[in-house]
Amino acid sequence: MTEAQIGLIGLGTMGAALALNIADNGFDIAVWNRTAAKTDDFVADAGPLATRITATRTLEELVSSLAQPRAIILMVPAGDIVDKQIAALRPLLAPDDLIIDAGNALFHDTNRRAAAGDGPFLGIGVSGGEEGARFGPSIMGGGDRAHWDRVAPILEAIAASYGGQPCATWLGDAGAGHFVKAVHNGIEYADMQMIAEVYGVMRDGFGMAAAEIGDVFENWNQGPLESYLIGISGKVAAATDTATGRPMLDMIVDAAGQKGTGRWTAIEAQHLATPIPAIEAAVVARNLSSRRDERALGEKLFGAAPQPISRDEITLDQLEQALIAGKILCYAQGFEMIRGAQEAFGWALPLPEIAKVWRAGCIIRSAMLNDMARALADPSAQNLMFADGFADQLRGTHAALRHVVAVGSLHGIAMPALSSGLAYFDAMRTARGTANMIQGQRDYFGRHGFERMDGGSDKHGPWVG
Ligand SMILES: NC(=O)c1ccc[n+]([C@@H]2O[C@H](COP(=O)([O-])OP(=O)(O)OC[C@H]3O[C@@H](n4cnc5c(N)ncnc54)[C@H](OP(=O)(O)O)[C@@H]3O)[C@@H](O)[C@H]2O)c1
């Protein structure tokens, strides 16, 4: 029997798609799933690819069907399940056999597992949902470079590619890959939220039907906003519910789900003291969306917030420009968070390579990312919003963002992510801010002291006796 080149545990949505992708790329793979019936169904549905797949019924069988040194991908829910799976697997493995956690692990857990010293371990972030996993995901690698190099030929072969370059890259030690995946998901939250906010202006302000809104997104997808998320937003808005014949979007409950990666990003940004207000606002917006009863009570008490907006007050063009500005600002915040982690964690986290790895395969892929990769490659590059091309785009679009947020606010349309993006933009171009007042207050009540504008040595105000 041919020994498989790689093993995979967990034939759920992502694992099954990834296993087929691996087989499709000419690699022999051995698979194991907790529920054996799923393994049988998986192989039965694999068609001609079944010849490259070894179905196993025990972990021992999985291990013995792999070429040495072994490499085994885990695609199971993050958390304790990963620890338990590793604990069950390690005793069966040789010292140089590699375990790869490809789920959405919290990067602190990946750091802990990599440091455990019980054998080679990689944590890789995989983005692109089921379709990406099957036909080419974006893969963000973390762990020992030498371990990555062992499996890079397989990971690069199955990843999406952009201009012939694979969207699979080693980004740093230990939890670096899962950290970048978390920030990716944070940007994803903000991008999705901003799209939902302009949808709100069109639906509640302009009174547009879902199909018309779908046309607008489809049209925007031909321009600077071209991206996976704008593309699917157009398709979602255009779809009809087969059960009722009504627009699908109108039949979907307005409470957003989440698995927690956006929350992790927001929490970690606070630890790192890196400002990502648009991403935090998007997490808050999802939490708020689930409070349906309270929102209904609020509407009864105060009246419905959104009021009609005429198409003269905000044009579709301004809405598009506002979204361009918002998108640049949310990516800028995400990249700044990653820059902050370079120093804090001592990880490589090469920003241009990260932008490149996101150019295809992942949920936040967008036409802008190639330009972002170029802008971030400039060694003098500071915040992305200051980089040549992006500063120009912001100069051309920030007035529209301000207009949309201002008019939307006057008409009761909540735009937490777009308005947080705008506040970030304004704060980042205010050389003399207002924190002198905070420093004065802190010194007043706590004798914390402050730096003086004139460089003088007196660190306290006259209120300190
Ligand atoms: N879905 C996405 O779009 C997406 C995208 C990127 C990353 N991810 C991440 O990928 C991982 C897998 O997600 P998924 O969507 O593929 O999940 P899923 O469809 O729910 O599949 C989960 C898999 O894990 C197995 N499993 C569950 N509990 C287990 C346990 N206690 N011991 C051993 N195996 C267990 C299941 O086996 P049984 O068949 O026996 O239940 C199944 O094979 C997660 O970390 C997720 O966050 C998901």
In the reported structure, the alpha carbon of residue 44 is separated from the centroid of ligand 1 by a whole-number distance in angstroms of 20
- pLDDT tens-digit readout, 17-31: 999 999 999 999 999
State the span(s) of the chain assigned CATH 3.40.50.720.
6-174
Dihedral angle sign, alpha carbons of residues 336, 284, 261, 111: positive
- pLDDT tens-digit readout, 161-220: 999 999 999 999 999 999 999 999 999 999 999 999 999 999 999 999 999 999 999 999
Q: Which residue in this structure is represented by tokens 């030498």?
A: 146
Q: Is 79 in the pocket of ligand 1 (CB under 6 A)?
A: no
Q: What confidence score (pLDDT) does residue 82 get?
A: 98
Total Cβ atoms within 10 A of residue 226: 14
Q: Which atom of ligand 1 is nearest to the CA of 35?
A: 40
**What does the pLDDT average to over 103-116?**
97
Q: What confidence score (pLDDT) does residue 354 get?
A: 98
Q: Which atom of ligand 1 is nearest to the CA of 81?
A: 31
Q: Is 40 in the pocket of ligand 1 (CB under 6 A)?
A: no
In the reported structure, the alpha carbon of residue 300 is separated from the centroid of ligand 1 by a whole-number distance in angstroms of 41
Q: Is 38 in the pocket of ligand 1 (CB under 6 A)?
A: yes
- pLDDT tens-digit readout, 305-355: 999 999 999 999 999 999 999 999 999 999 999 999 999 999 999 999 999
How far apart CA 21 and CA 53 sit, in angstroms, is 11
182-427 — its CATH code?
A: 1.10.1040.10
Ligand 1 atom 21: the closest Cα is on which residue?
12
Q: Is 77 in the pocket of ligand 1 (CB under 6 A)?
A: yes
- pLDDT tens-digit readout, 363-389: 999 999 999 999 999 888 789 999 989
Q: Is 15 in the pocket of ligand 1 (CB under 6 A)?
A: yes
Hey, which of 34, 178, 228 would you mutate to test ligand 1's pocket, going by the most ligand atoms within 8 Å of its Cβ? 34
How far apart CA 120 and CA 406 sit, in angstroms, is 53
Q: Which residues are catalytic?
A: 181, 188
In the reported structure, the alpha carbon of residue 353 is separated from the centroid of ligand 1 by a whole-number distance in angstroms of 28
Q: Is 39 in the pocket of ligand 1 (CB under 6 A)?
A: no
Mean pLDDT of the chain: 97
Q: Is 124 in the pocket of ligand 1 (CB under 6 A)?
A: no
Q: For residue 218, what are its two tokens?
A: 């489809």
The fold of 6-174 is: Rossmann fold (3.40.50)
In the reported structure, the alpha carbon of residue 56 is separated from the centroid of ligand 1 by a whole-number distance in angstroms of 18
Q: What confidence score (pLDDT) does residue 465 get?
A: 79
**What does the pLDDT average to over 37-60?**
97
Q: What confidence score (pLDDT) does residue 381 get?
A: 79
Q: What confidence score (pLDDT) does residue 1 get?
A: 62
In the reported structure, the alpha carbon of residue 216 is separated from the centroid of ligand 1 by a whole-number distance in angstroms of 36
Q: Which atom of ligand 1 is nearest to the CA of 11?
A: 43
Ligand 1 atom 34: the closest Cα is on which residue?
34
Specify the range with the lowest mean pLDDT, choosing from 14-28, 89-103, 366-380, 418-432. Answer: 366-380
Ligand 1 atom 4: the closest Cα is on which residue?
129
State the span(s) of the chain assigned CATH 1.10.1040.10.
182-427
- pLDDT tens-digit readout, 270-318: 999 999 999 999 999 999 999 999 999 999 999 999 999 999 999 999 9
Q: Is 138 in the pocket of ligand 1 (CB under 6 A)?
A: no
Q: What confidence score (pLDDT) does residue 382 get?
A: 85
Hey, which of 8, 9, 11, 14 would you mutate to test ligand 1's pocket, going by the most ligand atoms within 8 Å of its Cβ? 14
Query: Could you give the angle at which helices 176-200 and 261-272 cross, rounded to 10 degrees?
Result: 110
pTM beyond 0.75: yes
Ligand 1 atom 26: the closest Cα is on which residue?
76
